[in-house]
Amino acid sequence: MQLPAQTQPGPGAILEALSAAVLLIDAEDTVRQANASAEQVLQTSRQGLLNHRLDSIVPSDSPLHALVRQVRGSSASVADHGLPLETQRVSIPAISIQISPVLDGNGRADGWVVLSISPHTIAQRVDQQLLHRHPSQ
């Protein structure tokens, strides 16, 4: 007896299932893809994210932009934790962010990057505050 072939979820379904906000940014800093979590975290509809420049969503003085430039300059992923995220719609005291270059079929970075943003929970913020108050010796 032959079992029916199971269809695997595609990349779009996987992207939508992630709890982290994910944005795909092209070489001109325009948002080309965003998942449902990005809508929630940034409190902006997909229509308000897609085809808009990143600096129209996140102010240009945000550390996020420096990290994007760093990734483009080095073609290597970066991560940072505990950064604030301030936009016109949202103020999050601490996020974790990971930014990675998107490589073309030949393994070259062409300026596209993917951003993953996770707001810290209250428990994570308390842990971070305790760590700063009582550093290891």
Instruction: Mention every residue, 6+ apart, whose C-beta is less than 8 A from residue 27.
Output: 110, 111, 112
Is residue 29 classed as helix, strand or coil in its secondary structure?
coil
Give the global pTM: 0.83
Note whether 38 and 22 are within 8 A (CB). Answer: yes
pLDDT at residue 126, rounded to an integer? 56
| % of the chain exceeding 70 in pLDDT | 85
Does the pLDDT of residue 135 top 80, yes or no? no
Residue where the block lists tokens 């996987």:
14
Q: Which residue has the tokens 């080309």?
A: 32
Computed over every residue of the chain, the mean pLDDT equals: 88
Our CA angle for 49, 42, 76, nearest 5°, is 80
Model confidence at 36: pLDDT above 90: yes
